[in-house]
């Protein structure tokens, strides 16, 4: 089994099409077909079903896809280490980020990094907090960016910024006329929340629990997978939600949302790394752009959490950024 065969397999699996995979890899279709056939023959496992003129992954193919991606990610990490010997002249840095971080906070830091190191290709994938943590744990990403706490002994979380959750309602909601809403009153309306596994949801649940309120006590009318969908649902008049101030800003400025005066705590943005995988120079440079100390200066993993310098906190407040 070769890395080239793995690249061909992943390209075909992601596109579910031999011809499109061949075009993406700049290979002849016959070479792509031969690589898949060689993998299947060598290991005695069918990876694709041929259905009509199309193809789809078998059960074995689905399992193999996760492993193939992990191997290719490690190969890219090895390439990056070698390229760094030449002074970051080429290479790839794989990042996973939760949805609001990826949309509202991370882009400006990536732009700053790219201006300094234009030859480094940054590959950004987006998911919720649980998905990002899993990607770093499995080696699919060198760095992850999430909000809230991560309970994984193999990950170290470094605080890079702060964010404020706010409660918002539609312009016609009864809370628009209230001077203040107490935590105990949060059970009196319907809620639109992110899905389980989202950092925004887990932080809101923690705030409820600290006030003695269980999530079972509130009326969850909808669970939606994106911040923008949640904002649109509340703007349309469905209950309340707790989201980042940066996500709420467009609706507040347009007069479609009203911010409720209720006390919610700040939350932290964290950079995640695997404790057993040394950080690359590219990863350290990106973190430096965010105001994070070098790896040599950080405390050893124990509680798996450290605080960055004040510049990251102040920059996050200026950006009013958030996570998913």
Range of weakest confidence among 212-216, 236-240, 263-267:
263-267
In a domain, 166, yes or no: yes
Residue 317: closest CA among 262, 260, 269: 269
The predicted model scores a pTM of 0.64
The span from the CA of 69 to the CA of 140, in Å, is 7
The span from the CA of 85 to the CA of 291, in Å, is 24
Q: Which helix (H) or strand (E) holds 124?
A: strand 120-127
pLDDT tier at 305 (50, 70, 90 boundaries)?
A: very low
Whether residues 290 and 160 share a domain: the answer is yes
Domain count, the chain: 2
Picking from 78, 111, 142, the residue at the C-terminal end of a domain is 78
Question: Would you call 270 helix, strand, or coil by DSSP?
Answer: strand
Pairing of strands 240-244, 257-260: unpaired
pLDDT tier at 105 (50, 70, 90 boundaries)?
A: very high
CATH number for the domain spanning 294: value is: 3.40.190.290
- Could you tell me if 85 and 91 are in contact, meaning their C-beta atoms sit under 8 angstroms apart? no
Q: Is the pLDDT of residue 129 over 60?
A: yes
Q: Is the pLDDT of residue 164 over 60?
A: yes
CATH number for the domain spanning 64: value is: 1.10.10.10
Whether residues 131 and 156 share a domain: the answer is yes
Predicted pLDDT at 83: 67
Whether residues 8 and 39 share a domain: the answer is yes
In a domain, 192, yes or no: yes
The span from the CA of 320 to the CA of 247, in Å, is 9
**Domain containing residue 198:** 89-324
In a domain, 83, yes or no: no
- Which one has a higher pLDDT value, 18 or 295? 18
Range of weakest confidence among 154-163, 188-197, 274-283, 313-322:
313-322
Average pLDDT over residues 127-131: 91
Q: Is the pLDDT of residue 199 over 90?
A: no
Picking from 58, 78, 98, the residue at the C-terminal end of a domain is 78
Whether residues 244 and 267 share a domain: the answer is yes
Whether residues 130 and 233 share a domain: the answer is yes
Q: Which of the 8 DSSP states describes residue 139? A: T
Predicted pLDDT at 301: 41
- Which one has a higher pLDDT value, 113 or 197? 113
Angle, nearest 10°, between helix axes 3-15 and 59-84? 130
């Amino acid at each position: 089994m070769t890395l080239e065969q793995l690249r061909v397999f992943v390209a075909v699996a992601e596109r579910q099409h031999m011809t499109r995979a061949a075009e993406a890899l700049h290979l002849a279709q016959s070479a792509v077909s031969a690589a898949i056939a060689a993998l299947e023959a060598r290991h005695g496992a069918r990876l694709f079903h041929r259905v009509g003129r199309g193809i789809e992954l078998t059960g074995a193919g689905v399992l193999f896809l996760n492993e193939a991606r992990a191997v290719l990610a490690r190969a890219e990490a090895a390439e990056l280490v070698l390229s760094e010997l030449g002074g970051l002249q080429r290479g790839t840095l794989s990042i996973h980020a939760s949805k609001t971080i990826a949309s509202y906070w991370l882009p400006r830091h990536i732009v700053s990094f790219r201006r300094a190191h234009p030859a480094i290709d940054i590959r950004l994938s987006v998911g919720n907090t649980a998905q990002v943590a899993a990607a770093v744990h499995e080696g699919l990403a060198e760095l992850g960016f999430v909000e809230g706490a991560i309970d994984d002994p193999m990950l170290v979380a470094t605080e890079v910024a702060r964010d404020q959750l706010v409660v918002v309602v539609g312009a016609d909601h009864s809370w628009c006329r209230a001077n203040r809403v107490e935590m105990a009153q949060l059970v009196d309306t319907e809620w639109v929340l992110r899905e389980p596994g989202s950092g925004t949801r887990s932080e809101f649940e923690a705030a409820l629990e600290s006030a003695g309120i269980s999530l079972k006590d509130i009326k969850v009318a909808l669970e939606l997978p994106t911040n923008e969908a949640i904002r649109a649902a509340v703007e349309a008049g469905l209950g309340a939600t707790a989201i980042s101030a940066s996500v709420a800003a467009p609706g507040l400025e347009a007069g479609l949302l009203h911010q409720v005066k209720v006390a919610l705590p700040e939350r932290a943005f964290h950079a995640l790394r695997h404790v057993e995988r040394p950080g690359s120079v590219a990863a350290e440079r990106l973190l430096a752009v965010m105001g994070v100390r070098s790896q040599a200066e950080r405390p050893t993993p124990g509680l798996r959490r450290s605080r960055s310098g004040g510049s990251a906190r102040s920059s996050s407040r200026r950006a009013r950024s958030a996570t998913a």
